[in-house]
Amino acid sequence: MTSVTANSPAPDQTALSDHDWQHRLDKIASDPRMTESNIRAQGAIGKLGMPLLLVGVIGLVLTIIGAFSMSGRHALAAFEVGVFTALAMSLGSIFFLLVFHSLNAGWIITGRRVFENMGSIVWFPWACLVLVVIIEMASGGVLLKWIAGPGDNYLLNKKAPYLNAGFFIVRVLIYGAVWIFLGMRFAGLSRQSDDSGDRALGRKARFTAGWGILLFALTTAFAAFDFLMSMDYRFFSTMWGVYFFASCALASVSAAVLVLAVLRSRNKLEGLVTEEHFHDLGKLMFAFTVFWAYTAFSQYFLIWYSNIPEETMWYTYRKDNGWMWLFAFLCFGHFIVPFLIIIWRGVKRNMLLLGVMALLMIIVTAADMVWIIRPMVYTDKAVLDYGLTDPGIAGVWLDAAGLLGVLGIWGFLLTRALEKGFLLPTKDPMLHESMKHKNYV
Amino acid sequence: MSAMTNLISGIADYAPMLVRKPAPKFVSREGNRIYGIVAEFGETPAVYKAAQAVRDAGYRRWDVHSPFPVHGMEEAMGMKTTKLPLIAGGAAICGVLFAIFLQWITSGVLYPMVTQGKPYAAWEPFLPITFELGVLFTAFACLFGMLALNGLPRFHHPLFSHERFYRVSNDRFMIAIEAEDANFDPDKTRALLEQAGGDHITIIEEED
């Protein structure tokens, strides 16, 4: 056996002989935990699909009704809140898959299929974004005012090389190509290994993860610039991409915990995804809760300190228009409360408690999107130009409809993906590590 | 052995001029305080099973020494999770409260000064320092709490008077049961260790 150094990289053949590999596969296949009823979702998840689809369709229909009866701006904002929450969960899953594959993570294998399934349905939130682009283009700019062209606006003329409709469409297509490719690739390779048991597939995924991580970082950050930051074209923040990415990672790991907790409560993956796996996923949830607070506060703090009008107006606008309750809610609900709860070891190792916290983290991620998107609806200018009036609490149903509409369909697609094939990669070379994973602390 | 006697004994180790060490439960023929009893094992499974036997016999003040970490040993010994996180958490809360108080009292009350046109007691600039002090207190509590819980630093340990004990860093496993344990009895404990497969069972005396 040749030694592996930087100058003579790993050979194509693996250290385990084919005979030993077959032996390991047989041993895993005959493991009492690997029964068909334990590792297939049949029946356990399918019943959830239809109610989710119903919620989704009713939500979207109500959003369309709201668009005509109340305000198109409001309906589009509500829709985008849902889209970006769903996109955060799918994109975060792709991020975690990139990290798992590039670091050869063994512990998560039994739960990795959930991430793969969430990543593979990234086409849906992306298709919603395309719909948003079409609506914006057709209407000459609903929330993205710059899309109609710079006109005689000095700032928009300066920013026109980036903020113009043509380049925007190209970018959105690139985002879609990268995300859908990565999402499909990891799910596809993993499913392929279920059938063939080919050990080289993991290496292919690892190679993809290497260059994919760069493209992922750029596309996620720029998508956040394009759709969220440019709603107020005067505002700019270099932290914005990281800020959205923090939501992605948090929402995704929370969604994975939630899905795994639901599966476990329906007697699936018994003994395969244990409290040890929940403990580690809980650590990630805790870490990204803190990371979100860190990025969100850093952004706010620097803008507050430097006190430059074109930056501070993003916050002062929200402050002056009665959104401080949401600011306070995010401070407590998105950071202080989950920080003080998830920090406990017992919470992380308790499936039920961690599942409840995961649901809370998805809700507050949506609330974060509300904080970004929703105040842009009834701006002073919009009220003046279109004669809109903020319906206040009476308009909440439309926000709920947009959010639940998108999340309902996303959840339905996820249940469909989970129903297909196994709930875990059954022939992954590192599966045996995950099956006996243990935290020694 | 109550917690109070433990504490007094601990203080007496470091400051003998303050308190006298409580009277020993057992003394040797020469009048030396008995530290405990030590047994040797040659293999990991043997010491693992012996640890389970000692645990099941209800001993609390004892330890296993091995040249390398043995996975699952804390379960075999029936060790509970450390209290250190609670100490660290308490220190973190103290650090955060101290930092907020320090900054608020100085820049908000005692010496308010206009800095860059910001409000006197704005919470934003307090946060980084609050975070830093919270981390600092936690780090100190972790380090010094760990040392205190381990009874460190110390100049000498009675086990080091046992010549064979040095092999614990080379090729032997040892179980040491302290005489301060409520269940300790020179004959019964020796019998237990013998039954568990230990050899070279020795009573360790503390020499002044």
Report for A191-205, A210-224, B159-173: range of highest mean pLDDT: A210-224
Q: What is the average per-residue pLDDT within A155-161?
A: 92
Domain boundaries, chain A: 39-435
Q: Is the pLDDT of residue B1 over 60?
A: no
Among candidates B71, B85, B89 on the partner chain, residue whose Cβ is nearest the Cβ of A440: B71
Residues on chain A touching B128 (C-beta within 8 angstroms):
301
Q: Give CB contacts under 8 A, 24+ apart, made by A133-139.
A: A133/A168, A133/A169, A133/A172, A135/A76, A137/A165, A139/A72
- Residue B116 contacts A where some CB pair is shorter than 8 Å: yes
Do B133 and B163 lie in one domain? The reply is no
Asked whether the beta carbons of A311 and A235 are under 8 A apart, the reply is: yes
**Vertex A133 angle, CA A370 and A156, to 5°:** 85
Q: What is the DSSP string of A218-284?
A: HHHHHHHHHHTGGGSTT---TTHHHHHHHHHHHHHHHHHHHHHHHHHHTT-STTTS-HHHHHHHHHH
Q: What is the average per-residue pLDDT within A413-435?
A: 91
Q: Is the pLDDT of residue A287 over 60?
A: yes
Q: What is the pLDDT of residue A5?
A: 63
Phi-psi region of B36 (alpha: psi -120 to 50; beta: other; left: phi over 0): left
Nearest-CA distance B75 → chain A (Å)? 10
Chain A nearest-CA residue for B80: A441
Q: What is the pLDDT of residue A9?
A: 55
CB contact under 8 A, B124 and A304: yes
Picking from A378, A346, A341, A384, the residue whose alpha carbon sits closest to that of residue A359 is: A341
pLDDT digits (tens, 9 = 90+) for A254-268: 999 999 999 999 988
CB contact under 8 A, B124 and A300: yes
Nearest-CA distance B39 → chain A (Å)? 27
Q: For residue B128, what are the contacts with CB-CB under 8 A and spacing of at least 6? A: A301
How many domains, in total, are found in chain B?
A: 2
Provide the 10 A C-beta neighbour count for residue A24. 15
Which is more confident, B81 or B191? B191
Among candidates A301, A343, A440 on the partner chain, residue whose Cβ is nearest the Cβ of B124: A301
Task: Indicate the pLDDT class of residue A13, thresholds 50, 70 and 90.
Answer: low
Chain A nearest-CA residue for B115: A305
Q: What is the pLDDT of residue A16?
A: 79
Q: What is the pLDDT of residue A4?
A: 58
Do B17 and B113 lie in one domain? The reply is no
Chain B nearest-CA residue for A298: B128
Asked whether the beta carbons of A41 and A418 are under 8 A apart, the reply is: yes
Do B105 and B163 lie in one domain? The reply is no
Q: Where are the alpha helices (DSSP H) in A103-151?
A: 109-120, 123-139
Do B17 and B101 lie in one domain? The reply is no
Nearest-CA distance A255 → chain B (Å)? 28
Task: Give me the domain span that covers residue B163.
Answer: 3-79+155-206
CB contact under 8 A, B81 and A345: yes
**Vertex A249 angle, CA A246 and A252, to 5°:** 140
Task: Assess: ipTM above 0.85.
Answer: no
Structure tokens belonging to residue A123: 């086409």
Q: What is the pLDDT of residue A137?
A: 93
Do B12 and B61 lie in one domain? The reply is yes
- Residue B125 contacts A where some CB pair is shorter than 8 Å: yes
pTM: predicted TM-score of the whole model, two decimal places: 0.89
Q: What is the pLDDT of residue A362?
A: 97
Task: Indicate the pLDDT class of residue A251, thresholds 50, 70 and 90.
Answer: very high
Nearest-CA distance A301 → chain B (Å)? 6
pLDDT digits (tens, 9 = 90+) for B15-71: 888 888 888 888 888 888 899 999 999 999 999 999 999 999 999 889 999 999 998
Q: What is the average per-residue pLDDT within B173-195?
A: 91
Q: What is the DSSP letter of A6?
A: S
Q: Is the pLDDT of residue A2 over 70?
A: no
CA distances from A306 to A21, A272, A299, B117 (A): 60, 51, 11, 11
Structure tokens belonging to residue A95: 């991020």
Among candidates A297, A307, A343 on the partner chain, residue whose Cβ is nearest the Cβ of B127: A297
